[in-house]
Homo-oligomer: A and B are copies of this chain.
Amino acid sequence: MTAEPRLSWTEVRDTIRARILARHYAPGDKLPRDEDMARDLGCARATVHRAMQDLAAAGLVERRRKGGTHVPNDPVTRATFDIPVTRREVEARGSRYSYRLISREIAESPPAVMARFGLQDPSPMLHVRALHLADHRPYILEDRWIDLATTPEILEVDLAQHSANEWLVHHKPYSRVDVRFHAVNAEGEIARHLDTPRGSALLVLERTTWIGSEPITTVQSVAAPGYEVAAQS
C-alpha cells in the first residue's frame, strides 16, 4: 500500500457526474478529451478512462471510438433488475414455497419457440409446464422449453421433485439472457392453474437464455394477479 495523493476514479466519476447534473456539460455537448480532463482534474488519464466507463455504463455519457465522449442528446432511463430463483423470491416475501409439475414431454420446438431462440430449424426439446406456489396459492405458472442438444442432462432430473427453474440456475450457466414483459388476460388453462377469474390482467415475463449462440431454455412465466417487478438505476 502506497499513499495515493491523486483522485480516485470514483472521485473523478462523481466530479464529472456532478458537472453533467449541473448542466456544465449539457445534452449534446462534447466533453474534453480524457487527457485534457485528466490534466484539468490532476489525475492519470487511466483514471478518467475508468470513470468514463462507469458513466457510459450508466448511460450518462456516450463514448465513440474516434469521436470522443458526449452527453447524449436523448438520455434514456436505464434500470437494472434481478430475477432470483422463484423459490428464493417466494421465501424472501416470507411465504412458504412449493412446486407442482403439470406436464413434461419431449417435442419438436414449435415456431414461436424457434423465433425466440432465433432458430431456423426445429430442434428436439423438453417441454415442461409447472406451477410455483406461495403459501399454497398459485404464484407463477411457467411454460418452459429446454434444448436437448445443449442440455441433455435435464432428462435425468426428476422434475416432479425439483423445478427446472432451480436445476437450470444451479447447473447450467448461460452467457446471454433476453427478458421481455407484457400483459395478458387470463383464460383457459392459465386462469384455471392460477385460480384466477377469466379476464384478469396478468404480467408475463419471457426469458430466453443462450450459451454462446446455442439455445438453452426459454420460459414464459405468467404471474398471479398483483405481481410486480421492480428495477433500479
Identify the A interface with B (CB < 8 A): 20-21, 23, 27, 50, 57, 59, 74-85, 88, 169-170, 173, 175-185, 199-203, 207, 211, 225-233
Contacts and interface: CB of A to CB of B under 8 A. Distances in A.
B74 A169 contact: yes
Contacts of A225: 183
Q: What 9 pairs between A and B have smallest CB-CB spacing?
A: A183-B183, A201-B201, A76-B82, A183-B201, A77-B83, A179-B231, A177-B233, A21-B173, A183-B203
A181 B77 contact: no
Given A76-B82, A78-B82, A169-B74, A199 B179 contact: no
A181 B77 CA distance: 14
A122 to B, nearest CB: 24
Contact of A185 (B82, B200, B207): B200
B78 A80 contact: yes
A199 B132 CA distance: 26
Copies of this protein in the complex: 2
Most buried by B among A185, A201, A203: A201
Contacts of A226: 182
Contact of A233 (B23, B59, B176): B176
A57 to B, nearest CB: 8
Given A27-B170, A185-B199, A179 B74 contact: no
Nearest to A73: B170
Contacts of A202: 183, 201
